[in-house]
Homo-oligomer: A and B are copies of this chain.
Amino acid sequence: MATIADVAKRAGLSRATVSRVLNNHPNVTEDKKRLVREAMEALNYVPNTTAQRLRNQKTDTIAILVPVLTNPFFAYLLEAMDMVATQNHLQLLICQTRYSKQKELDFLELLRTKQVDGLILTSYENEWKKIEPYAELGPMVLCNEYERQTKVPVVRMDQVEASYIGTRHLIEQGHERIACTNGDKSNLGKDRQAGYRRALEEYDLPIHQEWVFSNVYDIEDGKRTLRTIMNMKDRPTAVFTGSDQVAAGMIMAAKALGKKVPDDIAIIGFDDQPIARVVEPALTTIRQPIEEMGKTAMDVMIDAIAHKNQDSHLEILLPFDLVIRDSTMSKLKSISK
């Protein structure tokens, strides 16, 4: 491969001058510029990115940590971030932690080894106090998942409020016995439960501890949990799930048991993923502002890289929507409206 020295020699100029035209420095005569351009053309020259990075002490690359790519929520979030990144000539290094604490820590090291200029966390496995120190090594932004007591900027949706609204919707449909499924014990999970509880308390409805299911993540978990619910003697008539996947699994399992949704059991999802429109009945769900969240997080990151001095705790809360479809509204009721 041709290097800058080759170009310089062929153009009969110094490497410095070649570098100047490469970086559009003002002080180069048109004549020399042309000479350099011709030489570059002739040699098929392209600057070596690694060398530029070493010299410039920056990589124009942002690491994004996600648990898995195959979860559509994260795929769409990445897509949004990618739009903004591309526009700003930034590369994304997409890092899958696969829910592993160790892999997460390994990826955080990217900041220390100077492989990336910044890092966005969309979810995390380790305790926050293990993660926070890495923020000293370079700009870090939290997107989606969050932490309250921190100086790291946060872009997220109000999960408590969203879950409150979702649960209230079930109550407004006349349900008084409402179950709840949850993924992990992250702040997101806790918030969703908090919103669920707030709604029940507000309407003086009982919270049955055995109606709160944890570690419920995917379609299979949803199927299993629905069967458990259906086997209870004292059983709920509605479920607030923390995930469209889980809700979809529940609908499938309910059908297999010959139960009607929403008449035998109403189900509400979370995220508004494509699957929500595909299942039958279509899912009522909380639409997360994924695109806006991803774009905003990247904007904040770009800002952080520019004025590296940002210090005070920035928190951006994005609005959500309750999308009402058929899994909570019986056909009869909708018609009677």
- Tell me the A residues contacting B by CB distance below 8 Å: 1, 46-51, 53-54, 59, 68-70, 72, 75-76, 78-79, 82, 86, 91-94, 96, 103, 109, 112-115, 219, 248, 252, 255, 274-275, 277-280
Q: Which of B59, B94, B275 makes the CB contact (< 8 A) with A94?
A: B94
Can you report 16 residue pairs joining A to B where beta carbons are below 8 Å apart? Answer: A1-B112, A46-B109, A46-B112, A48-B113, A68-B79, A69-B75, A69-B82, A70-B75, A70-B76, A70-B79, A94-B94, A219-B277, A248-B278, A274-B275, A275-B275, A278-B279
Q: Which of B54, B68, B92, B280 makes the CB contact (< 8 A) with A54?
A: B54
Evaluate contact between B79 and A69: CB separation under 8 angstroms.
yes
A46-B109, A49-B113 known; A96 vs B79 contact (CB < 8 Å) = yes
Q: How far is the CA of A86 from the CA of B54 in the complex (A)?
A: 25
Query: For residue A103, which residues in chain B have a CB less than 8 angstroms away from its CB?
Result: 86
Query: For residue A248, which residues in chain B have a CB less than 8 angstroms away from its CB?
Result: 278
Q: How far is the CA of A17 from the CA of B103 in the complex (A)?
A: 29
Evaluate contact between B219 and A274: CB separation under 8 angstroms.
yes
A92-B94, A96-B79, A248-B278 known; A51 vs B54 contact (CB < 8 Å) = yes
Name which residue of chain B comes closest to A96, CB basis. Answer: B82
A113-B48, A115-B49, A275-B275 known; A93 vs B96 contact (CB < 8 Å) = no
Q: How far is the CA of A278 from the CA of B245 in the complex (A)?
A: 10
Evaluate contact between A114 and B278: CB separation under 8 angstroms.
no
Evaluate contact between B70 and A59: CB separation under 8 angstroms.
no
Evaluate contact between A114 and B50: CB separation under 8 angstroms.
yes
Extra contacts besides A50-B53, A75-B75 (6): CB < 8 Å: A70-B76, A72-B72, A92-B94, A93-B93, A248-B278, A274-B275
